[in-house]
């Protein structure tokens, strides 16, 4: 694949509104409760963040450390799975008591039950990029329902490349902030079908070029329905939002 050739297959289309860490504007992020609420609000696809425990078990959690969202402390990757299973992940949400720190396996089963597509962001701790991607692929390649949409995303190209080696059939998306000038070369180099970028920085010109190249274009994290409408009018395929119910109610069907 040369620098001007994008991966075959065209864009991976998930949904026009993707629930960012579940319905994280109303529930503890990256929890089973937030995912159920997103589905209740009408979302057909969710986005989650996944890293690994010290013994290589994938857990759904955004930060390297545990303090912001859980009653634990220290780096997630420094704890065994049995320790992480005992944690609560509802910190700061007094009306959401009893939400545990979920394993990826529990989220996969819930997606199966609720018929939800999944954007899984690989969130490795520094130095664990390949190990994290391998652990996730080992589990998901055997358990993800083939009929449901799925895409990996990551800011870590090392993690994306490892995911490509371990589970070549799974689609991949490169995460960026502002769209870089060499976006097409980067997507080609890492065999990514989608580009996911910051919604506040995307221009109509960039969006038009990306969509014209048959690349899936998604924007994070868009909580303003007006901006979401502007981006979709640019040709963006979808937006990630903390408030899926609010956006779905405001946007045209």
Supply the residues annotated as catalytic: 20, 62
DSSP per-residue letters across 105-153: HHHHHHHHHHT-EEEEEE-PPTT-HHHHHHHHHHHHHHHS-TTS-EEEE
**205's tokens:** 């010109």
Q: Are 62 and 50 in contact (CB under 8 A)?
A: no
Q: Residues near 181 by Cβ (< 8 Å), separated by ≥ 6?
A: none
CA distances to 114, 153, 169 from 187, in Å: 31, 12, 16
Burial label, 146 (beta-carbon count in 10 A; 0-12, 13-18, 19+): exposed
Q: Are 103 and 58 in contact (CB under 8 A)?
A: yes
Distance, in Å, from the CA atom of 135 to the CA atom of 20, rounded to the nearest integer, reads 23
Q: What is the DSSP letter of 237?
A: -
Buried b (16+ CB within 10 A) or exposed e, 222-233: bbbbeebbbbbe
Q: How many CA atoms lie within 13 A of 3 on its CB side?
A: 3
């Amino acid at each position: 694949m040369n620098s001007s050739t994008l991966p075959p297959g065209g864009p991976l289309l998930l949904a026009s509104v993707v629930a960012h860490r579940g319905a994280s504007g109303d529930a503890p992020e990256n929890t089973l409760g937030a995912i159920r609420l997103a589905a209740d609000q009408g979302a057909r696809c969710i986005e989650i963040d996944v890293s690994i425990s010290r013994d290589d078990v994938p857990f759904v959690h955004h930060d390297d450390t545990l303090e912001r969202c859980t009653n634990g402390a220290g780096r997630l990757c420094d704890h065994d799975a049995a320790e992480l299973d005992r944690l609560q992940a509802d910190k700061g949400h007094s009306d959401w008591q009893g939400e545990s720190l979920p394993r990826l396996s529990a989220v996969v089963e819930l997606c199966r039950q609720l018929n939800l597509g999944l954007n899984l962001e690989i969130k490795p701790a520094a130095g664990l990029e390949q190990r994290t991607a391998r652990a996730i692929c080992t589990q998901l390649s055997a358990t993800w329902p083939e009929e449901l949409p799925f895409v990996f995303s990551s800011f870590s190209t090392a993690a994306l490349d490892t995911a490509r080696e371990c589970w070549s059939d799974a689609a991949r998306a490169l995460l960026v902030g502002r769209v870089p000038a060499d976006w097409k070369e980067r997507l080609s180099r890492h065999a990514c079908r989608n580009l996911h970028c910051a919604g506040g920085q995307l221009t109509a010109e960039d969006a038009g070029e990306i969509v014209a190249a048959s690349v899936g274009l998604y924007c994070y994290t868009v909580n303003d329905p007006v901006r979401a409408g502007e981006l979709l009018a640019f040709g963006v395929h979808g937006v990630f939002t903390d408030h899926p119910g609010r956006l779905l109610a405001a946007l045209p069907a």
